[in-house]
């Protein structure tokens, strides 16, 4: 009689997706979008016809910003000159940003 081979394991061993504790920080291409921007508050100075806004931040920067996500859909949230807004500014280009929140 021929010998039977030993039974194969039914599941593969678990592989951890976490990085090693002493691994190097992620490179620029591996960073998330949140790591490539910073949040700040500012005041809308000018509303342009092409749905862009010039916002002056509390730090004194002038940023060209667009409304983000659901603020554009439905157009129920109006952004006017003089409104206080939260915006996300790109670390790569400090003149570009996106409006996340409008305060009443």
Q: Has residue 10 been placed in a domain?
A: no
pTM check: above 0.95? no
pLDDT band for position 19 (cuts 50, 70, 90):
low
pLDDT band for position 46 (cuts 50, 70, 90):
very high
Compute the average pLDDT of residues 43-48: 94
Q: Has residue 25 been placed in a domain?
A: no
Minimal CA–CA distance to 80: which of 39, 40, 45, 42?
A: 45
Number of domains comprising the chain:
1
- Domain range for 52: 34-102
Contact between 42 and 57 under an 8 Å Cβ cutoff? The reply is yes
Q: Has residue 19 been placed in a domain?
A: no
Query: Percent of the chain scored above 90 by pLDDT?
Result: 35
Q: Residue 96: give its domain's CATH number.
A: 2.40.50.140
Q: Has residue 13 been placed in a domain?
A: no
49-58: Cβ within 8 A, 24+ apart: 53/79, 53/99, 55/85, 55/87, 55/97, 55/99, 57/87, 57/89
55-86 pLDDT, tens digit per residue, is 999 999 899 999 888 777 766 778 889 999 99
Provide the pLDDT for residue 22. 59
């Amino acid at each position: 009689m021929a010998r039977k081979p030993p039974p194969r394991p039914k599941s593969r061993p678990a592989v951890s997706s976490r990085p090693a504790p002493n691994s190097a920080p992620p490179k620029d291409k591996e960073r998330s979008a949140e790591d490539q921007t910073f949040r700040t508050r500012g005041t809308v100075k000018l509303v342009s016809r092409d749905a862009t806004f010039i916002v002056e931040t509390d730090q004194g920067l002038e940023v060209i910003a667009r409304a983000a996500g659901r603020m554009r859909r439905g157009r129920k949230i109006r952004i006017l000159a003089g409104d206080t807004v939260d915006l996300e500014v790109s670390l790569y280009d400090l003149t570009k940003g996106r409006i996340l929140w409008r305060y009443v």
